Structures are given as C-alpha cells and as structure tokens.
Copies of this chain bind each other. A is one copy, B any other.
Amino acid sequence: MSAICVSMPGSAKFAVQLAKALAASHASLDIHRFPDAETRIRLESNCSGKNVVIVDNGRDPNGNALPLYFATHAAKAMGASSVGLVTPYLPYMRQDAQFREGEAVSALAYARYLSACVDWIATVDPHLHRIQALEEIFEIPALCVTSMPSIAQWIGANVIRPIVIGPDSESGQWVKPVAHALGVPWATLEKQRTGDRQVAVSLPDAGILDGRSPVIVDDIASSGRTLAEAAMALRSLGSLPVTCVVVHALLDMAAEAELRAAGVAQLISTNTIEHCSNGIDIVPILAQQVRTVLQGTRGNA
C-alpha cells in the first residue's frame, strides 16, 4: 500500500505510530508563520501517486482549519491519489443543536467544511447524541472506530470486581457494551439540575455497588466537572476508590486537580489525544479501519 501519514502540529507521535501500523511512511507538515499572521504550508515528502493520510488530533480545530485545507491542496497539486484525514478526536460534535436563535450548529458546519476539504475521514468514538451517525452530516466517507472493546480489556486487566458506571443517562451507549464484554453489572447516574450551576447526581439503586470497584466510563473529559460530580456521588455512598476511563482526554491541569479533589483514584484515557493519562492504545484498531478505506481508494496498489 502506497500511503504516507502527514502530521499536523501536535499530532506527530500519533502519526508516527499510525504510519508504523500501516507500514506507511511519515512526513511532517512544515508550517511557517509570517509576521502578518499568514502561514505557509509545505509537505516535506513527495506525495505523487500516494494515498495521503493527514493526522490531526482535533485539539485546535480553528487554528488548524486553513493549514489543513492548504495541506490538502498541496498534496493534490503534487499528484496525491487521495487525501484523507484521521482525526482521532472529532471536534465540534457537542454543538449538535441550536440552543438559541442565530447560533451555528457547528457540528453540521464543521462536517461541511471537512467534506469540502478531504476525501474521507476516520475518527474514534465521535460524540453522537442528537446526531446519530456521521453519515447524517458528512458528504464524504466518515469512518468510526470504537475504543470500547479496548477499554473493556483494560478494565478487565486492571480492576478487580469492577462495576461500570455511566456519569449520565447519555452514557448508557458506552457503558452497556463495556459491562457486557466484562460480564459485570453497570448503572448510569441520574442528573438533576438544582440551580444555574448546580447539579445533583444520584445512583438510583445504591445496592448495586455491592463492594465492587466503580469504573466511570465516558467519551470526553473536558472541564472534568461531570466526572468529578459522579465520583463524589459514588464516594458519598461509601463506594470503593473510583477509577475514571475516558476516550478523549481534553483536560487541562485545573480539571485534573478537580478530579483529584473529588476523590478520583485514577484517570485513564485512550491515546486519541496525547495526555499523561493515556493508557489505552487505539492505534491498532484505527489502523485496521484506515487500511480498509485505503484499499477502496484509487491510489491503492
């Protein structure tokens, strides 16, 4: 397969791993910033006749929007057979509805932007809530990989007598398959808003804990608030120490401190976003899917 992985800023480590798994080469994207705020993009390897896989971790969607567009343009101009985007974390999916008149539904607009930019995308566990499948919003092939089997495997290997907990009712979609794979019980917490910034979180049937080690599973940890509230609710019921496992670790230092303060014993994440909590490698399952897409593209050999 004649493929080349090109890493956007901040995604070099992931891109190198993906390239290795795909038996593809790796190239960095050279981005020069001019004093007037414009950027000049340069692909450092010849892409002629190759399937180009741009890797962008989705951490700076606004700053990377034009560089990504320019990189695609440069690859096509060099004669690339196809240009796809691997964005292990797909940004903007949480803005999936208009909450006030005049608001952009960013998930739709971002999907339209990416559809105009590349030939296909691949991602890991996108935040699907009001939008139920990426096909609803993308005009290009949009591949999803789920990290839940990998997460189940990690829990099985690292937590004794676990119970899988979803921090809110939406998280049922994550926790059920994980608990089933492990053959252990699961539950989701219930949230009740008691004020503008106050939320009461409760476990409908506290008896289910039954001396088990609670593992909260969620897709995104950002402010850390949801996980912290869930952990506090569990600890207030006298639970064993709480482990949190998330797919996408978007947290900053303040969020990590909040989790510690809430009594979270450990936080583990997949490596979709590089973070000190990374403990679950999703490159192999993502590479498998990317290989399938590339086999369907023109430039495949």
Contact = CB atoms under 8 A, between A and B. Distances in A.
Nearest to A113: B69
Contacts of A180: none
A27 to B, nearest CB: 9
B36 A106 contact: no
Interface string A16-45: 000000000000001000011111111111
A105 B73 contact: yes
A252 B37 contact: no
B42 A102 contact: yes
Contacts of A222: 35-36
Interface string A94-110: 11001011111110111
Contacts of A67: 62
Interface string A51-78: 0000000011111011101111110011
Given A62-B63, A63-B62, A65-B65, A70 B106 contact: yes
A92 interface: yes
A116 interface: yes
Interface string A238-274: 0000000000001010000000000000000000000
A91 interface: yes
Contacts of A13: none
A40 B74 contact: no
A30 B110 CA distance: 18
Contacts of A102: 30, 42-47, 74, 78
Interface in A104-140: 104-106, 108-110, 112-113, 116
Nearest to A44: B102
A223 interface: yes
Nearest to A32: B103
20 contacts: A37-B59, A37-B60, A37-B62, A38-B61, A38-B91, A39-B106, A40-B106, A41-B104, A42-B100, A42-B104, A44-B102, A46-B102, A62-B63, A65-B69, A66-B110, A70-B106, A71-B104, A73-B112, A74-B105, A77-B98
